Structure 1
């Protein structure tokens, strides 16, 4: 009997699981006994020993035994039931804010109790609020293992999880699975031993190591989970490349690319030329290119994408360029229109605000093949958008989209095979994270900025000095420069963010009556937003008040000052993106982080990193450390990042080993790969079938 049997045994076979609980578990994603084995504890409590009251420390969790000396209702700011308990070494207060008459009657002086809870300091010594307790009518045995605390959902208590997982471990005894990882990787735990240990650690288990996720049992499961995840992405890549793509010869675009580069007032950097060459080689192959281009803000990814587009267009194919926001898509539309007009290449624009007859006409030009380059937002992968000969898909700011959306767009070329895919991101991704999140893509890095770009000086200013900052804005604009003032809110509501920006713009207009102040936020109609951005770019506005909608896609070289209010509310990657809106001209540029005190410890670290460095890759590494992979990649991208055991960056050190093991398994029995992927990713592995 192997573990595969357990993924077919429903949880309804377990004692205590009736239809109602089975439905609750299914809603939570637990349908089979195997699901319970991999539903691992978040943390542990030590209930294996009694602690003397006199030895308790503030903040610790402890089990104590003692006799109630006094119990009564106390009236203060909140009514509470209070019991004072002694064990010979000291006195402890048990306090209940929610209690019943039966509970009060059960806590009588002279009653012996065993209690568990977190110790805190109160007005009369140590207290435990709402402890778990049992009356000691007779001696109770101590727990033989650490007590697991499981992830849970409404309606399922910890005791239920413990009983269910204990039963699942008994099934595991009858179904000793073969380890699917190759031997000799030095973890020291088999799969079965690791599962047993993590559901029921012995009393002497190193709690600090378990909390840190660094116990060998956790490393054993994390390694296997990361290998399964890596294999699922490699399988996605293989599936994507099992369908041919058009071969786009390098020489076909030589004339067009030369004409484009000659028309520019600058020359490509060495890094741009290297990446252009890597992409050109990929496009010439009859297999779909799957390439991610990372480059810091202002490194010139758009020019790299333009050269790739010319290679496809010169070979008789269409190119689709998809951006996540209207502002970024408009920026691409402006750049490509300027560059491609002289090359006699038809460009089509499609976004959510293109409607009615205009939309129908655009769709017809795309379907007929008249449009060589199609630029737009999510509207591009809607069902009624049909391409004539789609050869290349360029997706900008990939982390704003899901994997499904990228694949759905590339499959619009299915009649003649699969389109090549070029994914761009100005949010540098730490190597460790790209190994996990983008294992299905080849990676290119533009690690060089154009000559003459000066690093942006970043300063931290307490919001109490706001008037000084307003004066600084006035001085900069008086010298002919332009400035951004970015408003942030914790709430995601567009309406609230718009209100905050509107209020700020009004205050700044009153404080700076000689300046023309513009306003842009997510609630503006696209045409209004585009008009404001065009006026700012043309220099008609001195100061632009905005929400974070200007994070990407805004290029105004004359803007040299950025004020970011409440920067502590944003992640490092977003702050770095916003800062990248200045420093695009030749002069010195500055970013003022106008923070609100008091700052949290994480807030201090985040802002210190911004002050220390302009290097996007350093910023990305710090962001990963402070926020974790889900936040760094963005919620839409994390479908495959919801790990059960593995944690990044805690388990970064396993990733080289992960790649080695995955490569070895790919050369072996495909059934082992199937079982690993199914065990750890289940239905998520099927996302590549879109």
Structure 2
């Protein structure tokens, strides 16, 4: 180890080499402070001046970079909200070609000023089609000097870098060139082990940096990308493999099944048969809980697939073995629903020590922040004494005052709502390392599971229990026909007159600025920066519905996260009892809320929600055997990119298909970070949708490396790469299960 070469990539940027002002710009605009960060700021595209692709040959539905000349630019006001649309027609920069293309900019005031007829520019974006014409919507662009065609033939490919207002792509290119010229290339540490590089014929890291930033031809850059793609996969999979080995080395209390215990009694009393999937997953959990190392399992399944029942059976096995189980839910509404559902499902088995309860029954308690002091004190006493086998709660469970007698299993519902610190705070309340089961009703594509949850065992429920009715979903485009909104309320009245109930979901509570911080709207989809239409709020819609003729005489309720807890509980109880026919709500009803009589879901400003959230919301209806209808109401123009998400949700009710589509449309965002709506990804070249084979190969290689060398003492360069690529935030994200 003493002979290790210095880590040149970890060195800070040298103002003497890069320039004092440029170092400042790179840091403030892009967060780039080290040589490694600069060299790993890879081009997002290359302009190949020698052979530009004719517009007529551009592929549909793919990310492209093209060079073209502006033919015309015209703006018009949008029909349904403030702002304008700029339509720019570009043509091939070659008199011998006739291809044209339409570019659409929403509120493109800068583009209107810069993209005047005759201007030559490079455009980057995802191609689409509108009314039979090839289009780019809100493309990124760079103005180009009007060089002669003969000169262009002599130029090498021009890298185009992710830039910002504080620094241009050209400035980044210049800085990287200076850094490459000053490197002592022989001292660069290569994270890919030599034996793997030789097996797959990868170029070395010095060549890769040179060819990706200063390619002589575009093919050079693609070869370098291939090498860095595998490197990304190997670093990620090594981190996951190491974490998995560390988990297996930990000791946990074994919780094997007990003959004649609560679980057997519960199964015997079930009025229905478990699905095959529930039986298989139940067996997996039973084996995990019986082991002497902690279970770390992700349970995913469609809305209504019976995840909670599977988790409850695991809880009963732990209770039979002398332990307790804690169920952590993201909202008070969901925690209360779980408490009522589990208590009702267990029946006498949840009334241990009570008159009429089972002799060896347990107790289920609820702990939330809005409970009275006396209620909280009693729930905490039941948890600390061990009288309560199952403790259900929200963040209140994480309070330092909450103690358990013997916490054996932690179940986290809707895991994406909780951070690592919250999960760890609950784990710390156990005397021995507890078993952990995290659940999600947002299906995760297999390659994402391998990339993000690779240290967890994954179980999947795909079957839906009997009795779930089909749900028809329709996009209601008010841009095409503003009068359709009146038909929406007439349709709601028809459902209510038939004895059914209706959900109406809005993206915000009221007009307060702090609405964006509301837990009700935690997953709002931001969309393109120009998309700033006024959002509909629960408060204003409730007031306006009282004046809609179709709603005359209808009992309307309001539900959102800022209501007094008692008022929330009363509203939900009245909706459950059909005393309220139409419920205007935020996404607080997204998960767990179960009202079998609700058959219509109206989602206002549906374009402001992500695909998975729309799918979750839709899952609240059709639960009682009656067919459901979901109406996705939007004021966006048909050509707006956010309409593609709505069309995807309307086209299928298959959650796994939608999760795949969601990933494609988000451009994967930051797989390792908190970003939910695209943006710069920590994965530069590794696309989990497209590169499953690369991920699988790296996963196998990483497992073999860690099995042979758990501390990576023989591969210090790979260990160094883990520190360089996976900062503390990303390491924590890998732990989020």
TM-score (norm 2): 0.75
Residue of structure 2 in register with 1:32 after alignment: 34
Whole-angstrom distance in 1 between the partners of 2:29 and 2:664: 32
Partner of 1:680: 725
After TM superposition, the structure 1 = structure 2 runs for residues 411-430 of structure 1, keeping only pairs within 5 Å, are 411-413=428-430, 416-430=431-445
Task: Specify which of 264, 267, 270 is matched with residue 261 of structure 1.
Answer: 267
2:415–2:439 Cα contact (<8 Å) kept: yes
Q: Distance in 1 between matches of 2:147 and 2:417?
A: 55
Q: How does 1:14-93 map to 2 (within 5 A)?
A: 14-18=16-20, 21=23, 25=27, 28-45=30-47, 61=67
For the pair 1:311 / 2:295, whether they are aligned, the reply is no
Q: Distance in 2 between matches of 1:360 and 1:650?
A: 53
Measured in 1, the distance between the counterparts of 2:468 and 2:675 equals 33
Q: 1:200 to 1:493 in 2, by over 3 A?
A: same
Distance 1:140 1:355, change over 3 A: farther
Q: Secondary structure at the match of 1:436?
A: helix
**Considering only CA atoms, is the larger Rg found in Structure 1 or Structure 2?**
1
Report deviation, 1:529.
Answer: 1.8
Which residue pairs with 2:177 in the alignment? Answer: 166
Counterpart position of 1:529: 568
Contact 1:295 1:426 (8 Å CA) reproduced = yes
Change (3 A) 1:4 1:480: farther
Conservation of the 8 A alpha-carbon contact between 2:29 and 2:165: no
Name the structure 2 match of 1:594: 633
- The C-alpha deviation readout for 1:42-94, integer Å capped at 9, x for no partner, is 3344578999xxxxxxx95479xxxxxxxxxxxxxxxxxxxxxxx999xxxxx
1:365-399 C-alpha deviation (Å, 9 max, x unpaired): 43333332111122323333332211101001112
* Secondary structure, counterpart of 2:273 in structure 1: coil
- Distance in 1 (alpha carbons) for counterparts of 2:31 and 2:404: 39
Give the drift of 1:251: 2.3
The one-character-per-residue Cα deviations of 1:489-547 (angstroms, maximum 9, x if unpaired) are 69836599997222222333333122211111233223222221111111111111112
**Counterparts of 2:213 and 2:585, CA distance in 1:** 50
How far 1:603 sits from its partner (Å)?
3.7
Deviation at 1:245, TM superposition (A): 0.9
1:106 corresponds to: none
Q: CA deviation at 1:17?
A: 4.5
Distance 1:637 1:50 in 2: 34
Residue 448 (1) aligns with residue 493 (2): no
Name the CA distance, whole Å, in 1 between partners of 2:635 and 2:407.
50
2:383: which partner in 1? 366
Please give the TM-score of this superposition, normalised by the length of structure 1.
0.80
Matches within 5 A, 1:31-430: 31-45=33-47, 61=67, 117-118=121-122, 145-152=156-163, 155-170=166-181, 171=183, 173-178=185-190, 180-181=192-193, 182-183=196-197, 186=200, 188-202=202-216, 204-205=217-218, 215-251=222-258, 254-340=260-346, 342-343=348-349, 344=352, 345-354=362-371, 356=373, 358-413=375-430, 416-430=431-445
Deviations 1:345-366 (A, max 9, x none): 2223222324655445543443
Measured in 2, the distance between the counterparts of 1:132 and 1:319 equals 63
Hey, what's the Cα distance between the residues in 1 that align with 2:566 and 2:671?
31
Name the SS of the counterpart of 2:612 in structure 1: helix
Flag the 1:475–1:647 CA change in 2: closer, same or farther, 3 A.
Answer: same
Unaligned runs of 5+ in 2: 54-64, 70-93, 97-108, 111-118, 125-140, 353-361, 510-514, 522-533
- C-alpha distance in 1 between matches for 2:52 and 2:628: 62
Q: How many residue pairs are counted as aligned between the two chains?
A: 620
Structure 2 distance, partners of 1:571, 1:378, is 25
2:693 is the alignment partner of 1:646: no
Separation in 1 of the partners of 2:612 and 2:536? 25
Contact preservation (8 Å) 2:295, 2:436 = yes
Deviates more, 1:619-628 or 1:599-608: 599-608
Separation in structure 2 between the aligned mates of residue 583 and residue 417 of structure 1, nearest angstrom: 43
Larger deviation, residues 233-242 vs 215-224 = 233-242
d(CA) in 2 for partners of 1:269, 1:579? 23
Unaligned runs of 5+ in 1: 52-58, 64-86, 90-96, 99-114, 121-128
Q: Report how far residue 200 of structure 1 moved.
A: 1.5
Answer yes or no: is 1:503 the counterpart of 2:515. Answer: no
Give the equivalent residue in structure 2 for 1:514: 553
Taking structure 1 as reference, are residues 352 and 28 closer, same or farther at Cα in structure 2, changes over 3 Å only? farther
| Structure 2 residue 594 is matched with structure 1 residue 561 | no
Distance 1:628 1:149, change over 3 A: closer
Residues 1:258 and 1:221: Cα distance change in structure 2 (over 3 Å): same
Say whether the 8 Å CA contact 1:551–1:577 is kept in structure 2. Answer: yes
Q: Residues of 2 paired with 1:135 and 1:641: CA distance?
A: 34
When residues 116 and 475 of structure 1 are mapped into structure 2, their CA distance, relative to the original with a 3 A threshold, is closer
Deviations 1:113-154 (A, max 9, x none): xx974599xxxxxxxx99576999xx9999954333333456
2:191 and 2:721 in contact (8 A); partners too = no
The answer on whether the counterparts of 2:504 and 2:603 sit within 8 Å (CA) in structure 1 is: yes
Q: Which moved more, 1:598-607 or 1:635-644?
A: 635-644
CA–CA distance in 1 between the matches of 2:643 and 2:225? 31
CA contact (8 A) 1:179 1:190 kept: no
Secondary structure of the residue aligned to 2:17 is: coil
Does structure 1 conserve the Cα–Cα contact (< 8 Å) formed by 2:244 and 2:456? yes
1:168 is paired with a residue whose SS is helix
Could you tell me how far apart the structure 1 residues matched to 2:123 and 2:425 are? Answer: 54
2:488 aligns with: 469
Superposition RMSD on alpha carbons, in Å?
4.0
CA contact (8 A) 1:47 1:62 kept: no
CA contact (8 A) 1:198 1:217 kept: yes
Residue pair 1:501, 1:546 contacting (<8 A) in 2 also: yes
For residue 658 of structure 1, what is the aligned residue in structure 2? 698
Establish whether residue 460 from structure 1 lines up as the match of residue 475 from structure 2: yes
Pairwise CA distance, 1:573: 1.0
Which residue does 1:84 correspond to in 2?
none
Secondary structure at the counterpart of residue 380 of structure 2: helix
Deviations 1:223-255 (A, max 9, x none): 111221122122222323332111001125x53
Q: Are the structure 2 counterparts of residues 435 and 116 from structure 1 closer, same or farther at C-alpha, using a change threshold of 3 Å?
A: same
Query: Contact (CA 8 Å) 1:476, 1:561: kept in 2 or not?
Result: yes
Q: 1:50 to 1:438 in 2, by over 3 A?
A: closer
Q: Distance in 2 between matches of 1:395 and 1:248?
A: 19
Deviations 1:174-220 (A, max 9, x none): 42544524136646433322221111122x3159xx7xxxx332122
**Partner SS state of residue 432, structure 1:** helix
